[in-house]
Amino acid sequence: VDETQENDTTDHRFTLIIPKADNYFPIMRYKCSSELRPVPIRVQTRVRLHGSCCRVALQISSNPANEDDLTDLKITMAVPPEINGGTLTTSPPGGVWDAEKHSVLWYVAELGDGEKFQLQAQFEMEKSVEESFRSEKPSFPVLVRCQCMYS
């Protein structure tokens, strides 16, 4: 059975007709562009559980190939609902608990190309929660927003 797919955008209109065939049939060809920019920032996280404490370490690294410094970094780390965010302590100091969004916020003014910095957040856990994380560590998703002058 022939299938027809149509797409109409403001710039292009095309129709794709897929013929009946038991054999391989190329539908399109494409070419990768070398115009892609490298990712300007890398975020690594490590979670450690020790007794009733949960410690999250973040390392934020700026790509050495960046053409300029990254500025106005806003780092948001979501905290699982099972973790008591009200017991937050951060190192270095400066992390702020946002109870409404159940997340931790950090603000960093500038990060030069190739620079790294580390942040830590520590939380207290209830005994019942501590037991539930024995088999699998909790997940702390991180979102970083920043200004890149060359983008």
pLDDT score for 100 = 96
* 53-103 tens-digit pLDDT: 999 999 999 999 888 899 999 999 999 998 999 999 999 999 999 999 999
The percent of residues above 90 in pLDDT, for the chain, comes to: 53
pLDDT higher than 80, residue 109: yes
pLDDT score for 8 = 52
Q: Mean pLDDT for the chain?
A: 84
- Domain hosting residue 79, numbered range: 41-148
13 located within any domain = no
- The residue ranking higher by pLDDT, 59 or 38, is 59
45 located within any domain = yes
pLDDT score for 128 = 76
81 located within any domain = yes
CATH code: domain of residue 74:
2.60.40.1170
Q: How many domains does the chain have?
A: 1
- The residue ranking higher by pLDDT, 1 or 112, is 112
55 located within any domain = yes
20 located within any domain = no
- HEC readout, the chain: CCEEEEEECCCCEEEEEECCCCCCCCCCCCCCCCCCCCCCEEEEEEEEEECCEEEEEEEEEECCCCCCCEEEEEEEEECCCCCEEEEEEEECCCCEEECCCCEEEEEEEEECCCCEEEEEEEEECCHHHHHHCCCCCCCCCEEEEEEECCC
- Residue 33: C-alpha distances to residues 36, 37, 86, 129 (Å): 7, 10, 48, 48
pLDDT score for 2 = 47
Amino acid sitting at position 46: R
Q: Whole-prediction pTM value?
A: 0.72
